[in-house]
Amino acid sequence: MPSKVLIMEAVRWAAVGFTSILVLISIAIMIVERTITAEAWAMLLLAPIPAGFALTTGKGVNNASSEIVEWIEDSEPDSEKSVGDPSESGFDVPVL
């Protein structure tokens, strides 16, 4: 289990690093070109993807619950009840 935590921590740091690199490259393009280009915007728009991945990884916690929930099923099916006549309820009956 500790190796899994270390791997997830390494992936998290790699994602944060990749986000930082995208932002720095975008800023460098803006400085060199002296304007905001489409490439700079594209890198800025891609930056939140790895950042979101870094934030939403499992953080090494096992979320699987060992609690078993039993569902209470109805003892009698409602097969005796009918829907009724749709024309009495005000619905139109389609003519085929």
| Residue 30 belongs to a domain | yes
| Residue 36 belongs to a domain | yes
| Residue 88 belongs to a domain | no
Give the span between the Cα atoms of 26 and 5, in whole angstroms.
Answer: 32
Structural domains of the chain, count? 1
Confidence of residue 76 (pLDDT cuts 50, 70, 90): low
For the segment 15-41, the average pLDDT, to the nearest whole number, is 91
Residue-range definition of the domain harbouring residue 48: 2-56
Give the span between the Cα atoms of 18 and 95, in whole angstroms.
Answer: 63
| Residue 84 belongs to a domain | no
Single pTM value for the model: 0.53
Q: What is the pLDDT of residues 42-57, one digit of tens each?
A: 989 988 888 888 787 6
| Residue 89 belongs to a domain | no
Say if residue 59's pLDDT is above 60. Answer: no
| Residue 9 belongs to a domain | yes
Q: Quick one: 22 exposed, middle or buried, by C-beta within 10 A (0-12, 13-18, 19+)? A: buried
Residue 15: partners with Cβ closer than 8 Å, 6 or more residues away: 50, 51, 53, 54, 57
